[in-house]
Every structure is written in structure tokens, then in C-alpha cells.
Amino acid sequence: MDKTMKAEQVVAMLSKGMIEPKITVVGCGGAGNNIVQSIYSGCRSNVETVAVNTDERKLAEIEVHKKVFIGKDITEGKGANGFPEVGEYCAECARPTFKKMLSGSDIVIVVAGMGGGTGTGVAPIVAQVSKELDAVTFAIAINPFSFETERTKKAYEGVKKLQAITNNTIVFNNDRLLELAGDATVSESFAIVERSIMRIIDSLCAQISESFISSIVPEVEEIFQSFEEEPVPQVAMVASAAEMMQASVAALGPKMPEMNGTLMVR
């Protein structure tokens, strides 16, 4: 890309207030849906929350920016009933929807509880589509408690698939968090797990945004310095780099993305 074209793209990005990267957090299955709902009300302006499920009732109960109901003709909206292969098949059928859903995202964080049907089967497909779109992809997998014996083997296979797709896979073991929780009840323990993951995601989003801004400032300054050395007529009236940066940050504001309803994939 020549200097002039690159400069025009950066100027256009700054003038539209697009300094921060677009981050999409996708919760797959019941546990993933609960976590993105918790993130929704207090998330940053550049973060969009998406819930994906095969359970229509569960999806209707939560509040996020976007909902994606998949597998209607396969599960009749009643969920994958603990079968990861069912969740995976529904996700494979929904690939075009996932591609549209993640288009334009710079960073994608996929969150799912492992060991059930939807989260275990869907999360690897969402992560794969994200990688195909060249988004930086993170996965957060939540392993079941050790007393959930039937879910443990399914969880192991699901985590392996995620790790094969993205090296940026964080695995939470519920047993370890249960130890830290002490005498907490099971429901209280699940709440502790959710809060812990929410803090991780919020911290991750903050660090990503700060790193992105820090990396782009020298590039912007370099481009504007090139204007002084070799003036470009098309952008002769552009303000200084510092003014552009200040105006762009102010333009971001506290607004949340608008709710876009529910997508349905049969």
C-alpha cells in the first residue's frame, strides 16, 4: 500500500472515531449466554455481546446486543440435550450466519461451558469462523466440576478442539474456583465463576484497546510527518494528528451498540 492511500485510510478511521478495535464477545450455550448477559449492561463502547444457542427459551430470557438462534429444524428449539455432535452440526449449518455476525470484528472472544451439547459443539466452530475472518481470536472454556462425571469427557474433547483452533485458549477449572470459594453453595460457586470470567474479559478488553491505541499513535505521527516532508493535496486540510486523536476519543462517548434482534438459523 502506498503512503498516500495508507494515510487516507488512517485519516478516515480517525475522523469516524474508530480508534478502538471492535471486540465481539460470543457466549455459546447456557453458561456462555449467562456470562455475556452479565457483561452486556456494563461493557465498553467498543464491545458487542452475542449469545448463540439451540435452546429458544433460554435465548429469549437473556439480554445482550445480538441473539443467534441456531438449529431450529434440528432441535426444534429445545437444545442439544447434552450431545456436542448435535451442537456442532447446528453450528456447521449456521456458518454463513456466524460469518455475517463476526464481520468487521477485530477481536473475538468465544466463551462456553464445556461438557454440554451446545457450548461444547458450537464454540469451536465460532472460533474457526473468527480465525477465517482474520480476527484475533480468544477462547475461554469452562470445565465442569469433577462431580459432573458424565460431562468431563465431553469437556476434554471440546477443549482439545478449541486449543487446536486457537492458541489463545484460557481454560477455567470449576473445581479450583470451588476451592477458593470455601463453603459456598453450588449456585454461589457458579456466580463466583461468572464474576471471575467477567473480570478476565473486562481486563482483556481494556488491555487490547490500550495496546491498539498505543500501537497506532506512532503510525499516525509518522504519516503526518510525511505530510510535512511531502505534502499530499487530497489531505491538505486535515487537522494535526494530536487534534484528530483528541476529537476521535471524544467522539467514542459512552454509547452502547444498538440491539439488533434475534437471528434464526434453521
Q: Look at residue 80 in the predicted model and tell me its pLDDT.
A: 96
Question: Which H helix or E strand runs over 160?
Answer: helix 149-165
- By the 8 A CB rule, do 189 and 200 touch? no
**pTM of the predicted model over 0.75:** no
- Of the candidate ranges 93-102, 105-114, 122-131, 256-265, the one whose mean pLDDT is the lowest: 256-265
Hey, where are the domains in the chain? 22-41+48-207+257-265
**How many other C-beta atoms lie within 10 A of the C-beta of residue 78?**
12
Euclidean distance between CA atoms 53 and 134, whole angstroms: 24
C-alpha neighbours within 13 Å on the C-beta side of residue 164? 9
Question: Which H helix or E strand runs over 263?
Answer: strand 262-265
pLDDT in tens, 87-118: 999 999 999 999 999 999 988 999 999 999 99
The band of 72, judged by pLDDT with boundaries at 50, 70 and 90, is: very high
Question: Which H helix or E strand runs over 147?
Answer: none
Q: Could you tell me which residues are beta bridge partners of residue 140?
A: 111, 170
Euclidean distance between CA atoms 131 and 67, whole angstroms: 21
Question: Which H helix or E strand runs over 238?
Answer: none
Does 50 have pLDDT greater than 90?
A: yes
Give the whole-number percent of the chain exceeding pLDDT 90: 47
Question: Which H helix or E strand runs over 209?
Answer: helix 186-229
- Of the candidate ranges 77-81, 123-127, 206-210, the one whose mean pLDDT is the lowest: 206-210
pLDDT in tens, 179-191: 766 677 767 767 7
Q: ∠ CA(207), CA(133), CA(205), 5° rounding?
A: 15
Q: Look at residue 174 in the predicted model and tell me its pLDDT.
A: 78
The band of 12, judged by pLDDT with boundaries at 50, 70 and 90, is: low
Does 236 have pLDDT greater than 90?
A: no
pLDDT in tens, 74-88: 999 999 999 999 999
Taking residues 236-247, report their average pLDDT.
40
The band of 212, judged by pLDDT with boundaries at 50, 70 and 90, is: low
- 196 exposure class (CB count in 10 Å sphere: 0-12, 13-18, 19+): middle
3-state secondary structure of 122: helix
**Can you read off the three cell numbers belonging to residue 242?**
494530536
Q: Look at residue 132 in the predicted model and tell me its pLDDT.
A: 97
Superfamily for the 22-41+48-207+257-265 domain = Tubulin/FtsZ, GTPase domain (3.40.50.1440)
